[in-house]
Amino acid sequence: MPRIFVCSAIGELIVLIGAGVLAFLRLDPHADRHILLAVFSLILTCLIQVMAFTYLTVTGKTIAQAVHLAALDTGALKDAKRIKQSLARHLALLILAVVFVTASGANVWRVGGGRTMHLAAAFAVLLAHVFVLSRQYALIVANADLLNRTLAEYARRRAERSAGARPATAATPD
């Protein structure tokens, strides 16, 4: 999942930067491409956030099941919950930044003024994306490590139980 997240985040940043370049360099006289790229970036941001949150939800359930079935230390559950809560806080920051730049862009489009505010908002969104996506990547990597450690411990405990439950083999007569 970390590689998928990085590829998606890089793609999202490219689309976001493309929308900004089109607008800033005025390569699109009617702003149609800029607006379409910005809307696509907004949708892509939401999809990536949903993907990351879903990943943490599913892996959290997997960790919980492994902890309960193998009677593992419940610290892994607390760590998974903390990671998910941190990702949710970052998700909220990113979505608020995207909504702000979208609203300022809509204001420019509707009224015709406020270009400076929109430019500042676009720059802030780019910085927010870089900050939040890098933090979320670190959280996803930490979650993947937690999942791997928990499942390895689960497999070890299960192997111990199955080895202890095997009947003793009878000695073969000579």
DSSP letter at 173? P
Please give the angle made by the CA atoms of 119, 125 and 131, to the nearest 5 degrees.
140
Mean pLDDT taken over the chain: 85
Query: 24-37: per-residue pLDDT in tens?
Result: 777 666 667 778 88
Q: For tokens 């490219």, what's the residue?
A: 14
Give the predicted TM-score (pTM) of the model: 0.80
Domain span including residue 26: 2-154
> Which pLDDT score is estimated for 134?
93
171 part of a folded domain: no
Q: Give the 3-state secondary structure percentages of the chain, helix then strand then coil, rounded to 5.
A: 85, 0, 15
132 part of a folded domain: yes
Please give the average per-residue pLDDT across 54-62, as a whole number. Answer: 94
Backbone torsions φ then ψ of 92, nearest 5 degrees: -65, -40
> Which pLDDT score is estimated for 57?
94
The total domain count for the chain is 1
Query: 97-108: per-residue pLDDT in tens?
Result: 888 888 888 887
Write the single-letter amino acid at 107: N
159 part of a folded domain: no
6 part of a folded domain: yes
161 part of a folded domain: no
By the 10 Å C-beta count (0-12 exposed, 13-18 middle, 19+ buried), 124 is classed as: middle
Backbone torsions φ then ψ of 140, nearest 5 degrees: -70, -40
